[in-house]
Structure 1
Amino acid sequence: MRPLLDLRHLQLIQAIIETGRITDAADKLGVTPSALSHRLREAERRLDVPLFTRMHKRLRKTPAAEYMAVVAERVLADLSRAEEDVRRMNAGVQHVVRLSVEAYSNYRWLPSFIRYLKAHEDGIDIQIMAGARSDPLTGVLNRHIDLAVMSGDIAQPGLASMPLFEDPLLYIMSPNHRLADRAFVEGKDIVGEHFITYTKVPEPDREFARLFRPTESYPKWAATVELPEAIVELVASDLGTSVLSNWALQTALAEGRIIGAQVTEEGITVPWVVVLRAEDMIAEDPIQRVAALLAEWCSLPNGGFHIV
């Protein structure tokens, strides 16, 4: 029987893909380049396929390496989680559920939800994985995270979702902006306005499809800033305008640093859901239990994400 790859080989594949060079990958892993080269040859011998080809002094991944990298991410994530779980068991924690929120890093709601969780479940801890917010669906599928709080309707094989709340989009501006006294804005109002967005990829039922496109009225694209909290600061300084979710803006609105107007007279409301793997959608599974409690908490009069 051909010997199997071990964790060192998986870490090697990841490191070379990330750095593109044996020397840089070796430095990242804390080994010598010669030792890493030997380990790479050993992995290729065991698999009987090349993992990398050399191109202009850099290593280029083959389809085999790309596939193994996906496997490595899952295996190493599961191992990391298992190690973390074992450490936390000594503190009375039996289960750790990893959670991320799409795009936003506003977690003012978290203490309130944790108190609610602790009142209903013992031995479950929440770990926030902020690094997964740019692509939470992949994070769930690859087991890097267990739950993703996301907007929109999620229909993807292998995933399940629970509804949390409906939330309007707001057109935000500084208090000194010419549109600051408007209850709502239409497409014609924003022509030529400096607009800051965290993505220029049009999404269905958002401002592109329902504010800009119907009237062919477009703002002037000022910048793409991936962090919504940074967008708020730029808007508050009158360096542009934006459209963001209402729930994540509560603190800045309450402080009067920005003004929010409804997007179109009818408004644009976006559903928010919690996404988990379909295989975890089992009653009393810790992941399913946290998702269900999150949905339950969002339905309470004093619960939900709209916390200042």
Structure 2
Amino acid sequence: MKPLLDLRHLQLIQAINQTGRITDAAKMLGVTPSALSHRLREAERRLDVPLFTRMHKKLRKTPAADYMAVVAERILTDLSRAEDDVRRMNANVQHVVRLSVEAYSNYRWLPYFIKFLKSRTDGIDIQIMAGARSDPLNGVLNRHIDIAVMSGSVAQAGLYSLPLFEDPLLYIMPPTHRLADREFVEGTDIVGEQFITYTKVPEPDREFALLFRPTDSYPKWAATVELPEAIVELVASDLGTSVLSKWALQTPLTEGRIVGARVTEDGISVPWCAVLRTEDMDDGDPILQVANLLSEWCSLPEGGFHVT
């Protein structure tokens, strides 16, 4: 059965969804507004459902357009990715493995790992999918990415978890902070401190359960910022304190813009792992090969995510 819509219609829906105006969408696609209006009417005729309604000079999406916009985004993204893959094949790259790191966008380790990868295998390239870092597990399951570097333990049907390294959490603060000379902090030390958190959802192996609850001591919640790099900048500007993974803090710590202390005297270490689909666990699969090499590299004295 022939599809009702073609790629031109999907591009139209995506463009109008992004701009809200026929004229702006036409400019984005390089066509005239009249041609785009005709294409929109054709799409609505084929689907026998309105996609947009006019609200003054803007177009408002109908539920049908909302749904088609999601579909268009997925199909056009997959097509663009396939085109990139084909171009890479022309450069002697047979496999592209897409990878994302949970929460953090610190990729100082990446060039070192790529050199290690190229020394051990040929024809495999790494593509970083930074947009998947907020929900990497779903990214793996829906095949948007192939490997998610995650913290904590992961036990979910259809996924395999390969241990990579253990990493301590650090209580970070500006160099002028009253606790800046401490080797470690306890919950009672930071009562009332301005605290910037990545998430207020408690996790059993993190600071909420192991630092705050044992002494029923809590800081003053200043803000929730879902970008660790932004948290670092706020802390460096003396606008609060936070708790983050040490591996991602190497640059600001080395530069002296922030200082860090262990979280509790014994410290809190969080396991990090590489998560991939169980269907990609066959011997020789390039995704499994990259995951295994990542694990091996993390075990080397000169390797791992702490490289600077």
| TM bracket (short chain) | 0.7 to 0.9
Aligned to 2:69: 69
- Tell me if the contact between 1:74 and 1:142 (Cα under 8 Å) persists in the aligned partners: no
Q: CA deviation at 1:274?
A: 1.8
Q: CA deviation at 1:24?
A: 3.6
Q: CA deviation at 1:59?
A: 1.4
Q: CA deviation at 1:130?
A: 2.6
- Tell me if the contact between 2:162 and 2:275 (Cα under 8 Å) persists in the aligned partners: yes
Q: CA deviation at 1:213?
A: 4.1
Q: How does 1:79-94 map to 2 (within 5 A)?
A: 79-94=79-94
Listed one character per residue, the Cα deviations across residues 229-280 of structure 1 (whole Å, up to 9, x for unaligned) are 3322332333321110011112333344322112223432222122233433
- Tell me if the contact between 2:169 and 2:269 (Cα under 8 Å) persists in the aligned partners: yes
- Tell me if the contact between 1:17 and 1:61 (Cα under 8 Å) persists in the aligned partners: no
Aligned equivalents of 1:48 and 1:172: distance in 2? 57
Aligned equivalents of 1:29 and 1:159: distance in 2? 39
Aligned equivalents of 2:128 and 2:281: distance in 1? 20
Q: CA deviation at 1:158?
A: 4.3
Gaps of 5+ in 2: none
Aligned to 1:46: 46
- In angstroms, what is the RMSD of aligned CA positions? 2.6
Is the alpha carbon distance of 1:117 and 1:213 closer, same or farther for their aligned partners in structure 2, counting shifts above 3 Å? same
Aligned to 1:259: 259
1:209 correspondence with 2:209: yes
Number of equivalences:
307
Is the alpha carbon distance of 1:2 and 1:112 closer, same or farther for their aligned partners in structure 2, counting shifts above 3 Å? closer
Task: Describe the SS at the equivalent of 1:167.
Answer: strand
- Tell me if the contact between 1:21 and 1:59 (Cα under 8 Å) persists in the aligned partners: no
- Tell me if the contact between 1:172 and 1:243 (Cα under 8 Å) persists in the aligned partners: yes
Listed one character per residue, the Cα deviations across residues 203-240 of structure 1 (whole Å, up to 9, x for unaligned) are 44322333334444332233444432332233233332
Q: Structure 1 counterpart of 2:206, which letter?
A: R
TM-score, normalisation: structure 1: 0.86
Aligned to 1:100: 100
Q: CA deviation at 1:118?
A: 0.5
Aligned equivalents of 1:73 and 1:244: distance in 2? 33
Aligned to 2:61: 60
Aligned equivalents of 1:250 and 1:66: distance in 2? 42
Q: Identify which range, 287-296 or 213-222, moves more after superposition.
A: 213-222
Task: Describe the SS at the equivalent of 1:162.
Answer: strand
1:218 correspondence with 2:222: no
Aligned equivalents of 1:70 and 1:277: distance in 2? 23
Q: How does 1:39-188 map to 2 (within 5 A)?
A: 39-53=39-53, 57-62=58-63, 64-188=64-188
Is the alpha carbon distance of 1:209 and 1:59 closer, same or farther for their aligned partners in structure 2, counting shifts above 3 Å? farther
Aligned to 1:290: 290
Q: Which runs of 4+ in 1 moved over 6 A?
A: none
Aligned equivalents of 1:136 and 1:183: distance in 2? 33
Q: CA deviation at 1:81?
A: 1.8
Aligned equivalents of 2:159 and 2:30: distance in 1? 37
Aligned equivalents of 1:157 and 1:68: distance in 2? 29
TM-score, normalisation: structure 2: 0.86
Is the alpha carbon distance of 1:67 and 1:213 closer, same or farther for their aligned partners in structure 2, counting shifts above 3 Å? farther
Q: CA deviation at 1:157?
A: 4.5
